[in-house]
Amino acid sequence: GYEVSGTVRRVSSPTNLWRLADLGLLGRINLIPADMTDVGSLIAAISQAQPNEIFNLSAQSFVGASFQMPHTTAQVDALGVLNVLEVIRYGDKSIKVYQASSSEIYGGMVDSESLDENSPKNPASPYAVSKLFGFHTVRMYRKAYGIFAVNGILFNHDSIYRGLEFVSRKITNHVAQVALGLTKEKLRLGNLDAIRDFGFAPICVESMWTMLQQDKPDDFVIATGIGHSVKEFVEYAFSLIDEDWREYTEVSQTEMRPLDVARLVGNPAKARAQFGWSPQVTFRELIEIMVEADIRRWKQYKLGKNFPWDVVVGA
């Protein structure tokens, strides 16, 4: 029952909307040009769409790249949040806002078993510092101006639509190519000991909407509560095609970050108690879903069909 608008940042090459196309959503969403760093464009987009709810999912979301582009990351991930909130503050204050916060804001709290909304924040990348700015700005605007703004503190949330630069999809995409005999190259990975809380994105995304339907704005951790290392991920992914991961991977310095967070595992007790959220999909099921999808895509490719991400629309 929603009418959905989404903002699209203008780039000189055609905008790649393959995920929307793959999901059959293209044409059902009003696409409005806007840029998080350009407050005027946000004013225009918000006055055009006149939304009741805004989901701010826009970000330079790759932690690794934030070390190369700290300034851009801060402008989009930190000041961009401020821009949206300012437009609401001086415009329609009844608009509810979901802010995509991140488990990265906790940073290196290695001694914490699992992290909840009140755990100390110790960000360890330009991405994390920027997200923490957004997090506190949302809380401050909520208190100071009575805006219904919430932070969803999502731990890793993966699916078949994950970008190829992230470790989960990088692995499942490679496994699929090995399975179909399409590559002999080794997969270069970085820190295999990093522990992350890998959840299934569609289930996590449902919680974003649910947070905006609560009586009062608040912040919620969304996580499975179970940690797994990158090594466990790659090991299980290759086991699905009956291969030994060690033969197909190598550790490379180029994939290491100047600082990495050793362990991030969340405690979703508050979301579970308040609106019954649960992760539903296990670590192994998630990997199975992703490997299966990538094998399907590469099989299509072998048949001479386009990748779904070759669909380029909205030039």
Q: Which residues are catalytic?
A: 102, 104, 127
**Residue with structure tokens 């108690």?**
273
Question: What would the two tokens of residue 266 be?
Answer: 């969340």
Residue 260 CB neighbour total at 10 angstroms: 15
Q: Which of 35, 104, 219, 294 binds ligand G4F (CB under 6 A)?
A: 104
Per-residue binder mask for ligand G4F (CB under 6 A), 258-277, x = binder = --x-----------------
Binders of ligand G4F among 64-103, rule CB under 6 A?
Answer: 64, 102-103
- The one segment of 7-15, 49-57, 115-123, 149-157 that binds ligand G4F by CB under 6 A: 149-157
Per-residue contact track with ligand G4F, 185 to 204, x per CB under 6 A? Answer: ----xxx--x-x--------
Q: Is 142 in the site for ligand G4F (CB under 6 A)?
A: no
Return d(Cα 185, Cα 303) in angstroms, integer: 22
Q: Cβ–Cβ contacts within 10 Å for residue 44, how many?
A: 15
**Region from 16-24, 107-115, 252-260, 305-313 binding ligand G4F, contact rule CB under 6 A:** 252-260
Residue type, 276: G
- Determine which residue in the list 92, 165, 244, 285 makes contact with ligand G4F, applying CB under 6 A: 165
CB of 48 to ligand G4F, least distance (A): 28
Q: The sheet that has 219-222: what strands, in order across it? A: 53-56, 96-102, 149-154, 219-222
Max CA-CA distance within the chain?
59
Least distance in angstroms from the C-beta of 73 to ligand G4F = 10
At residue 237, the 3 state secondary structure works out as helix
CA distances from 47 to 32, 252, 289 (A): 11, 48, 39
Q: Which residues bind ligand G4F (CB under 6 A)?
A: 61, 63-64, 102-104, 154-156, 165-168, 170, 189-191, 194, 196, 230, 255, 257, 260
